[in-house]
Homo-oligomer: A and B are copies of this chain.
Amino acid sequence: MARKTGSNGEKTRAAVEEAAIRLIARHGFAAVSMRQIAREVGVQAGALYLYTPDKQSLLFDIMRGHMEHLLASWEAEAPDPATPAVARLERLVRFHIDYHIHRPEKVFISYMELRNLEPDNFAEIERLRRAYEGVLEDILRAGAADGVFHMEDARITTMAMIAMLTGVSTWYRDSGRLQPAAIAAHYVDMAFRLVGGARIAQAAE
């Protein structure tokens, strides 16, 4: 996809993506027009096509960007694979909660708008989602192999744990009773419970 480069172009590109995320999260992909996005950014509708060839590409770029950034962010802070599974799980849970709590709109879109991806685009997003699920599944299997985690079915436990953790983005509010660090500590505790690991992690106050 052709992108205008340079500082102003990059700024506008970011503004286009931010406006699209805001509008799609609010109204849904099918109800949002390129014209509406242009108006939100403050550019002419025609100018939008300097940044994206069409609405489908824009959606795909948002969803792929979200998943690639998620994977890259984890890579950047993942412990060495030789690290014991217990420590890797704790790190991944804290990372996942922190990442998802601060991006409710992107998380919402990346789940809700799967239905609007064209088949090739859907396949690519599925591949990235599987890669991320694989990160967790590998840790769970490593812990099971070491005898520190116990579970009936690593695949179902992976899916259940991801749903449990990601759910935080549906109810978390900045004004709520608990701060993000305390919430993360609770989820670490619950993640260890799910895999029958020792209760190494205590909930912080």
Interface residues of A (CB under 8 A from B): 25-31, 108, 111-112, 115, 152-153, 156-157, 159-164, 166-168, 170-171, 178, 183, 186-187, 189-190, 193-196, 203
Contacts and interface: CB of A to CB of B under 8 A. Distances in A.
Q: How many copies does the complex hold?
A: 2
A75 to B, nearest CB: 24
A15 to B, nearest CB: 23
Given A28-B27, A194-B190, A167 B157 contact: no
A170 B111 contact: yes
A194 B191 CA distance: 8
A186 B171 CA distance: 25
Contact of A167 (B28, B108, B160): B160
A186 B111 contact: no
A178 B193 CA distance: 23
Given A163-B170, A166-B163, A170-B163, A186 B27 contact: no
